[in-house]
Amino acid sequence: MSQFNDLIAEKGTGTACDQLTPLTGEALASLQRDEPGLPAGYVDFLSHVGFGPIGDDSFMLYSGLLAPEELYGQTPPGLAAVQLFGDDFAGYASGFDTANGWRIVEIDPTSHEATEVARDFAAFIRLKIAAAS
């Protein structure tokens, strides 16, 4: 049973989630080994709904987590504890602030400042899906 059963049931019917691909069991196990504190909602979403573009390229949910230096070429000040899980195709990246309860932050592409946008992955991703619908 997934907290995203409603989204799973709607896949393939012209929704914003149609292009998402569930993560394989092996990839999910590897991700959980690398990041044992992953929020359950994130794991649930990746395993049952998936990763990829949401809507018409409104948001890209990665198949795993990226360190800030993988996106920016270096780790900007204040982002050492952030693990990125997606972006809006316009420079704003979203991720988990692992040093502060895995809260959801958005990274400004110019200042690299992290701003809390949600405390829960499920609420965050549902807002992204609604915006893309």
- Quick one: pLDDT at residue 23? 96
pLDDT tens track for 6-57: 999 999 999 999 999 999 999 999 999 999 899 999 999 999 999 999 999 8
Q: Give the mean model confidence (pLDDT) for residues 49-72.
A: 94
For the chain, where are the E strands, in sequence order? 52-54, 59-66, 82-87, 93-97, 103-107, 114-118
Average pLDDT, the chain: 94
pLDDT band, residue 76 (cuts 50/70/90):
confident
Antiparallel, parallel or unpaired: β 52-54 and 114-118:
unpaired
Mean pLDDT calculated for residue range 117-126? 94
pLDDT tens by residue, 87-112: 999 989 999 999 999 999 999 999 99
Mean pLDDT of 71-85: 93
pTM: 0.93
Radius of gyration of the chain (CA): 14
pLDDT of residue 57: 85
